[in-house]
Amino acid sequence: MRPGSRGRPCRTGRPNLRDQRGVALIIALILVALATVLASKLTFDGFLERRRSIGVLAAEQALQFGMGAEAIAADALAQDAQNTKQDTLIEPWAQPTQPLPITPADDPEGEPIGTVQGHLEDMQGRFNLNNLGRLKTDGTQDPQPLEQFQLLLAAVGVEPKWAALARDWIDADDLPGSRPVSQADDFATD
């Protein structure tokens, strides 16, 4: 055998240098591939962490904006309570606010990072269905909410019988009220 011939060991029993260069090249390529995969994963993980941080910051800002809007509403209602004894829908608290710019605390004269705008609604003008289940002091059902709801349904063209069915559905027991069928059947078949 000739020293240095391919695929055959030389007479001294040591590996051929040419064969070793091929193995070194493969190891180097594997190391570069591993480094590339590691760099890609680190970059992607950093991107995800950045997006997560932006989301947490945005949620915290939204919460603070909401709390600020609530404080503005509370202030408007407190001023109204001091100035008037009767509430109407033409008072300042019932009017929509103009957009209020929100600026960073460290740069109040700088570019706004958002705006807050809102309006208050008087919920007293709405019917609370939970009142249908209200009991009087003697434990009997209060008839006034049922009568009010029947009038309201009739005014919008809905059969007043639905008021009694709604009361039966809302009340504390699971027994049918005025009709001899179960509550689920009332709403499923009518």
Residue 183: which domain range? 127-189
**Any domain includes 39:** yes
**Any domain includes 15:** no
Confirm if 153 and 162 have CB atoms less than 8 A apart: yes
Per DSSP, the three-state class of 139 is: coil
Residues 80 and 161 in one domain: no
Query: Cα–Cα distance between 166 and 148 in angstroms, integer?
Result: 13
The number of domains in the chain is: 2
pTM for the full model? 0.50
How confident is the model over 127-179, as pLDDT tens digits? Answer: 888 888 888 888 788 889 899 999 999 999 999 889 888 888 887 776 666 44
Residues 47 and 89 in one domain: yes
How confident is the model over 57-90, as pLDDT tens digits? Answer: 999 988 998 998 899 889 989 998 898 888 888 8
Q: Where are the alpha helices (DSSP H) in the chain?
A: 17-83, 143-155, 161-170, 183-189
Residues 115 and 133 in one domain: no
Domain boundary among 72, 102, 123: 123
**Any domain includes 12:** no
**Percent of the chain beyond pLDDT 70?**
79
Q: Which of 44, 38, 100, 46 is nearest to 68 (CA)?
A: 100
